[in-house]
């Protein structure tokens, strides 16, 4: 009986994994067709497109084209490929994966449309479904919160579905969003400017910078 129960449990786990792979494959197919999809993160729900489909994301959100979106990355190495980096960036990027968006100067490899005004916002989410999506779709996605412009971000699958912005939503895999947006900071050389305090306390960032002998305040 014990072995039979264990075998049944393993079968259920495999079935869930197979189902997840199926929905991820569909998500990637939709992204490659130029569609936006909805997906969960540890902060709030998001909308994602491949970088070359960025205009579709602006149209869907009703968002001004000069307002930047976030670039979600599968890991720190993927994020580093879009920025000139620096000591402060490297120090703060040690907080990834997590609810931190670093707004930094792009390098020559960063598509200009992802860096309006000469800045690109980078984040590595800390959610298994979001990371699985990023790995399956090439490592980088142009993303924003799942909501019409001016409305609160969706915090649950039900709220995401109620907005009706996209026909395809990934499941959260049993890991709910916490409902608080990421902390956003601009990093210019060794200077830090807080643009939005969110799920990650800014205090933790100052402590990390000071421990590294950095931490100029832009005010």
pLDDT of amino acid 14: 45
Helix axes 128-136, 2-32, angle to 10 degrees: 50
Residue 13 lies in a domain: no
Is 8 within a domain? no
Number of structural domains, the chain? Answer: 1
CATH for 120: 3.90.870.10
The answer to the question of residue 12 being in a domain is no
Q: Does a structural domain hold residue 188?
A: yes
Indicate whether 11 belongs to any domain. Answer: no
Note the pLDDT of residue 12: 47
Does some domain include residue 10?
no
pLDDT at 216: 59
Per-residue pLDDT tens listing for the chain (219 residues): 444 555 554 544 445 566 889 999 999 999 999 999 999 999 999 999 999 999 999 999 888 878 889 999 999 999 999 999 899 999 999 999 999 999 999 999 999 999 999 999 999 999 999 999 999 999 999 999 999 989 999 999 999 999 999 999 999 999 999 999 999 999 988 889 999 999 999 999 999 999 999 865 654
Containing structural domain, residue 162: 18-214
């Amino acid at each position: 009986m014990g072995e039979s129960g264990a075998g049944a449990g393993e079968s259920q786990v495999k079935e869930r994994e197979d189902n997840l792979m199926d929905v991820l494959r569909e998500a990637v197919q939709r992204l490659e067709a130029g569609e936006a999809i909805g997906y969960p993160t540890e902060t709030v729900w998001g909308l994602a497109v491949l970088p070359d489909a960025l205009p579709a994301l602006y149209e869907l959100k009703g968002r001004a084209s000069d307002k930047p979106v976030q670039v979600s990355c599968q890991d720190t190495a993927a994020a580093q490929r879009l920025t000139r980096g620096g000591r402060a960036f490297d120090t703060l990027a040690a907080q990834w994966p997590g609810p931190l968006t670093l707004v930094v100067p792009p390098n020559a490899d960063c598509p200009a449309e992802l860096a309006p005004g000469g800045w690109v916002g980078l984040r590595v989410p800390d959610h298994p479904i979001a990371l699985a999506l990023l790995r399956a779709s090439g490592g980088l996605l142009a993303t924003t919160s799942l909501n019409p412009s001016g409305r609160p971000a969706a915090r649950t699958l039900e709220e995401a579905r109620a907005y009706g912005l996209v026909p395809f939503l990934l499941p959260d895999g049993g890991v709910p969003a916490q409902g608080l947006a990421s902390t956003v900071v601009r990093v210019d050389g060794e200077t830090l400017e807080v643009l939005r305090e969110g799920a990650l306390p800014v205090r933790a960032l100052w402590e990390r910078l000071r421990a590294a002998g950095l931490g100029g305040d832009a005010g």
